[in-house]
Amino acid sequence: MAKALFRYGKFVVGIAFVIGLGWWMLRPPGRPILERTTVAAEFSAPVSAIVPKEIEKNAGSKPESWTSFRGSRGNGVSESTNTPTKWSATESLLWSAKLPGPGASSPIVVEDKVFVTCYSGYGDGSEGNLNDLKRHLLCLARDSGKVLWESTVSSSAPEDRYSGYITEHGYASSTPVTDGTAVYCFFGKSGVHAYDMAGKPLWNTSVGTSSGNRRWGSAASPIVFGDLVIINASEESRAVIALDKKTGKQVWKAEGRNLELCYSTPVIHEVAGKKPELVLALPGEIWGLNPLTGGLKWFASTRLTGNVSPSVCTTEDLAIAFGGYPNTASVAVKTGGSGDVTSSGIVWTGNKSSYVPSGVVKGKHIYWVNDRGLATCAETATGKVLYQERIGLGGGESASRPVYGSTVLAGDNLYSVTRQGGVFVWKASETFTKVGLNKIEGDETDFNPSLAISDNKLFLRSNKAIYCVGAK
């Protein structure tokens, strides 16, 4: 598929010129098409743009921020080292706040504020009509859970109906992202919405209104890089799209047919001695893009076919991807390459993987709990599995896929949120060491998202409420 980009690119362009056919008609399936509506040079960004400068400059004086899906660097790693490992509805629960509807998006935290999205009016247990679907962005006080403001967005385009797999996650599955001056939310076919920190709408932009062939709805979360908001709009337009974060105008667009059924959030990877790369795993391939232009720098063909949900995990020189259906697989690819690196760049492959949750890297190991409730540790350099153990959810294991939340790391402790069995805690070590399984009694709804961590406090949400856990 994408091999045609490098093997036949010049030939295809030449034929198109001679016979006068459009580029669209001749493009190989899956090949990104770049549409630059703004000069890329205007968006030059240093490596430090991975953590927005507005947040980084206050890092020493303000609480730790967790600004996007899987944290401020998108890797699931917190700076906190003294997070709680035991809690309940009566122990170490600092506050809780009821939400106006369900959602599978994770909370984010910046300075004294917590942001979370949810939906209502349809597919939330009420009869409802698809046209009544609304999305909500809530801003809460970090220390008390008090709702500071709420913004409600009505659907501007019909979403997929509430049936099949979409009933497992609903219509608020994309985690918002902030750069410390604005908050950006991805609401599927209703587009990307930006707000200032006081809740004032700044802009909204459509990124497409199409549906995937399964009609499973949106899932990937937006990220911020420099002056760009980047979205994997695979469901809506089979494209990865970058918007000017100040205006919402499109800066670049990379299309590919193989983006269909790609639900993973892109990751910015810093390559030693080279410019940052935007890395994304999709069915059958893994891509390394230029985050300023959307240009394809390298790619590799993989066995991750069907659909791909987990985000890529990175080491200094590797991108490790999970996913696939009906069989999951894992693959590690060297970053920083050029062109087709399938033969030269794939370091290892394996069959220990995850269907939905993403993993986390510490040192020479990668850790994850997959959707079946199996905790795994493997060597990042070789893929050698050191252990795979069932986490013991009891009744919570009766669900066919009891875990959706991605594993996050604080100090030596790993946290994986299960849908109904509680939050599993275990040690980041070469031997399997279970620390605890903590459940908030009285909330029997699904806990689909991952944890957010800020200054040794844990923020988790269910379909009913958001909770803050920490030392009293």
Going from the first residue of the chain to its last (472 residues), give the mean pLDDT of each consecutive group of 10, the final group possibly shorter.
42 34 35 34 45 53 88 96 96 97 97 97 80 95 98 90 86 97 96 98 95 84 98 95 98 94 94 88 96 96 94 96 96 96 97 96 97 96 97 62 95 96 97 96 95 97 97 86
Q: Beta-strand (E) ranges in 270-427?
A: 277-282, 285-289, 296-301, 313-314, 318-323, 329-334, 339-340, 346-350, 360-362, 365-369, 374-379, 385-390, 408-410, 413-417, 423-427
Domain boundaries, the chain: 1-31, 32-41+62-469
Q: Write down the CATH number for the domain with range 32-41+62-469.
A: 2.130.10.10
Query: For position 426, what pLDDT does the model report?
Result: 98
Query: For position 39, what pLDDT does the model report?
Result: 31
Query: For position 51, what pLDDT does the model report?
Result: 59
Query: For position 50, what pLDDT does the model report?
Result: 56
Query: For position 148, what pLDDT does the model report?
Result: 98
Distance CA 32, CA 15 (A): 19
Query: For position 298, what pLDDT does the model report?
Result: 96
Both tokens of 80, joined, read: 């906190």
Which residues partner with 117 through β-bridges?
Answer: 137
